[in-house]
Amino acid sequence: MKTKPKRNLVLATSLSLVLAGCDQTPPQKDAEPEWEELSDGSHLLLSSYDEVEMEDLERCYESIAGLECLRAVSMVGGQSISFQRQVKPSLNRVASGEDTVHSMSGYHCQLYVDGAAGDFIRESIWSKRGELKVNTVRFPRSFNEAPLSKEGVEGYFDANSIDPKRPWLNCYQVAHLVVDGSLASLTSSDLTLEAFTTD
């Protein structure tokens, strides 16, 4: 049986790897990927990096604000997946603020796949000074667990003067698609713009 300190170390290590996958320049891709237009009009980009066992999925939808994109980065043999919502001016441009030193500010969410303890998401809110708030929700949810709401997260941003480079997303809904299927489920019609941008 694992001790609590060891479990915390595993989580910390996995989180560090996931954040590194999202925020650092990735290693050389296996092949230069191309955007694929899906039947619903959204665009899909799939990348893989064998050097670090990383898979990178991005799906973008047209919206009034520009392109609303969901990015999922699978690390450590698929045992942890980071989800990020981005607003981009075009498919070939990075999200606003992603290339700045404050790109960590905002909402973060990771799915951890753990056969012994069960699958769960770890939500967190960051300012430019670091991690301020953490929330954990398991699958299936217990009566006293609830994911962070859009209203609650955006209110927390305002109360703490956070200029979020990473907006809130409905991580529990997105992660549920992966838990019920796989990462490939995010390429199907089960994922819609509303699924990750609304409660």
pLDDT, one tens digit per residue, over 46-70 is: 988 766 678 999 999 999 989 999 9
CB proximity list for 81: less than 8 A, separation 6 or greater? 18, 72, 73, 74, 75, 110, 111, 113, 175, 178, 183
Q: Which residue has the tokens 């981005």?
A: 86
How far is Cα 31 from Cα 109, in angstroms, rounded to an integer?
Answer: 28
Per-residue pLDDT tens over the stretch 7-20: 443 444 444 444 44
How far is Cα 75 from Cα 50, in angstroms, rounded to an integer?
Answer: 11
Q: Which residue has the tokens 């703490």?
A: 160
Residue 182 scores a pLDDT above 80: yes
Choose among 108, 93, 82, 99: nearest CA to 167: 108
pTM of the model: 0.80
Average pLDDT over residues 94-115: 73
Hey, which bits of 22-176 come out as E strands? 36-37, 43-49, 54-63, 66-75, 80-88, 106-112, 120-127, 130-138
In this prediction, residue 100 has a pLDDT band, given cuts at 50, 70 and 90, of: very low
Residue 102 scores a pLDDT above 50: no
In this prediction, residue 117 has a pLDDT band, given cuts at 50, 70 and 90, of: confident
Q: Which residue has the tokens 């217990």?
A: 142
Ramachandran angles phi, psi of 36, nearest 5°: -115, 130
Residue 176 scores a pLDDT above 70: yes
